Amino acid sequence: MIGRVGETPTSPPTDYREVFDKANDGLLIHDADTGEILDANPRMCEMYGYTTAELCRLDIAAISSNEPPFTESASRRNIRRAVQTEPQLFEWVAKAKDGSLFWVEVNLKMIRIGGRDRLLSIVRDISERRRAEEETERLRSALAHVSRLTTLGELSASLAHELNQPLAAILANAQAGLRIMQTDCFDRGEIQDILADIAVDDVRAGEVIRRMRELLRDRRLTSQLVDVRELIADVFGLVRSDAILAQTKLEARVETGLPPVLGDPVQLQQVILNLVVNSLHVMKEWHGDRRRVTVVALPETPRSVRIEVRDTGPGIPEALGPRVFEPFFTTKPQGLGLGLSICRTLVEAHGGKIQAEFTSEPGAKMVVTLPSGRRPGKTRLSATHG
Amino acid sequence: MGEPLDSTIWIVDDDPSVRRSLVRLLHACGYNAQACESAEEFLKSEWRRSPGCLVLDVRLPNLSGLELQSILQERGAWIPVVFITGHGDIPMSVRAMKAGSVDFLTKPFTDQALLAAVKHALMECEGRMTAAIELEDIRRRLDSLSPREQEVLSRVVAGRLNKQIAAELGIAMRTVKLHRAHAMEKLGVRTVADLVRLVEKAGPES
């Protein structure tokens, strides 16, 4: 019952010039061999600020930003691929006549016009979309920063403790040294030992401050290879004292030869920190034995890394399931309920996943899966989460 | 300076660097100092052997400082506690002081603050040890009483007259007087008022 006998479609118009002139995307016709611009439609002229005649005299390099990776050689490569293999779709930074730069999406496709091979560029201005994406990214960073400040606030007593330990040792050592040197004959070796200890404790205090500052800084997102072992060590360094207060052992198990993950080191640290702090909060109120928070990192697939944060507390009721990741969901009397929801936002922005796993083992188990990185700088942090 | 030379300052802190520096400082001030890394290690040590005091970190893995303090208290230990902490948390210090610690120092603290606290604690230790020895002595003397003497004395302390005691125990008043005189001699008291004070010191179990 498809179609009816006797009906014919109305004949299509044969002159397509109107379509070219009125299209709401910029259209360029190139010579497929040289890449030379042969024609440009009014929308194209409007976007770039040139007349058709001007555009036809220009080289494609003139309408690109030419900032890497948006270089002339890259655009020639795209054209070659479109001509030789298949249509190309990519985002590009373009340059208008007045020198202003803007984001476009370019679709390159081979067509035949008047019996000749031509390359059609369909150019769409996506500045608005990019601005919205950048705004989303900016908001996400701001939210992540606020959340880090909150976490640090919760840890402030512990961090003060971490800082006061070396300071106490330095002061006691210095005053012991002064007393020893007041005696007539003192052991130079002992003074040397004291000074060496002071230096070690000073470095230790500096390390606490470095970790804190890393988290406090409101900074641009970076994408780099992050060593999971270092990531966990930094998190443990921040919560060590809190773990003692919760009478809980911290344990890290990182598989040897684990590839690094790709992403922003501070945001990734924030995710793991949040999960570990959550577990410690639970352990503080929990009176069971075998008190332990374990972070396990192992490869999940050849291209992803799995990081598990487990505790030996009462666990998460399975009925709550994914609700724990919803904003404002909390079981803590003073909690805002944003920690896990921010974790999820950050993990998803890294192209990863976060979930609670329910097993027969006691305690809670949160699993973060992140893409592993072998090729630095190739993958951009995708903005899939809005 | 007045402290017994054989007293020992015990330091319990899980941070090796803090332990080493405090031992050094106390040695430089002429004290015997011993360090333990945990409450458990301290309990196994020979701290009872000599007078002294305990410089105790509040936050320790496993058994915390506050828990160690309450264990020592349950066991009636005389060793005074000076708490040290990495963060001055007021509710915690109030709890510690109420539980009978002599001082609460927030890290980092100066040598003067530590020495003042240690001196104070050692004085406290001397007082507590004297009291403990006295108590031991009183208990021993009370234990030396015969059952009959104990029966008579408990009634004397409760304010009964000789005549009432004789009637209650079904013995002659002369016998009551004899038991009473013997018992007071054994305890080394001469008046009923002294006797009552002594029994009060010994506590409710006697």
**ipTM field:** 0.75
Beta strand spans in A126-270 (E): 224-226, 249-254, 261-263
Q: B108: which chain A residues are within 8 Å (Cβ-Cβ)?
A: 164, 167-168, 170-172
* Predicted confidence (pLDDT) per residue in A270-300, tens digit: 999 989 998 998 888 888 888 999 999 999 9
Cα separations in angstroms, B102 against A191, A335, B93, B109: 32, 37, 11, 16
Query: Is the CB of B30 inside 8 Å of chain A's CB atoms?
Result: no
Highest-pLDDT range among A38-42, A240-244, A337-341, A355-359: A38-42
**Contact (Cβ atoms closer than 8 angstroms) between residue A197 and residue B21:** yes
**Residue in B with minimal Cα distance to A249:** B61
**Residue in B with minimal Cα distance to A163:** B86
Which residue of A161, A190, A247 is in closest CB contact with B86?
A161
* Predicted confidence (pLDDT) per residue in A248-274, tens digit: 999 999 998 899 999 988 889 999 998
Confidence tier at B88 by pLDDT (50, 70, 90): low
Residue A265: cis peptide before it, omega within 30 degrees of 0: no
Q: Compute the count of residue pairs across chains A and B with CB atoms less than 8 Å apart.
A: 85
8 Å CB contact of B59 and A180? no
**Contact (Cβ atoms closer than 8 angstroms) between residue A140 and residue A147:** no
Model pLDDT, residue A335: 62
Q: B14: which chain A residues are within 8 Å (Cβ-Cβ)?
A: 244
Q: B18: which chain A residues are within 8 Å (Cβ-Cβ)?
A: 165, 168-169, 172
8 Å CB contact of A241 and B61? no
**Contact (Cβ atoms closer than 8 angstroms) between residue B186 and residue B141:** yes
Q: Which residue has the tokens 């539980």?
A: B99
d(CA A366, CA A276): 10
Query: Is the CB of A19 inside 8 Å of chain B's CB atoms?
Result: no
**Contact (Cβ atoms closer than 8 angstroms) between residue A48 and residue A63:** yes
* Predicted confidence (pLDDT) per residue in A153-191, tens digit: 778 877 888 899 999 999 999 999 999 999 888 889 999
Query: Is the CB of A157 inside 8 Å of chain B's CB atoms?
Result: yes
For the CA atoms of chain A, what is the radius of gyration? Answer: 30
Query: Is the CB of B113 inside 8 Å of chain A's CB atoms?
Result: no
What does the pLDDT average to over A10-32?
83
* Predicted confidence (pLDDT) per residue in A326-383, tens digit: 766 776 666 666 678 888 888 988 889 999 888 888 889 999 999 998 643 334 444 3
Query: Is the CB of B22 inside 8 Å of chain A's CB atoms?
Result: yes
The burial of B169, by beta-carbon neighbours within 10 Å (0-12 exposed, 13-18 middle, 19 or more buried), is given as middle
**Contact (Cβ atoms closer than 8 angstroms) between residue B152 and residue B169:** yes
Q: Is the dihedral of CA B158, B160, B164, B165 positive or negative?
A: positive
8 Å CB contact of B20 and A162? no
What whole-number percentage of chain A has pLDDT above 70?
A: 90
Confidence tier at B25 by pLDDT (50, 70, 90): very high
Query: Is the CB of A191 inside 8 Å of chain B's CB atoms?
Result: no
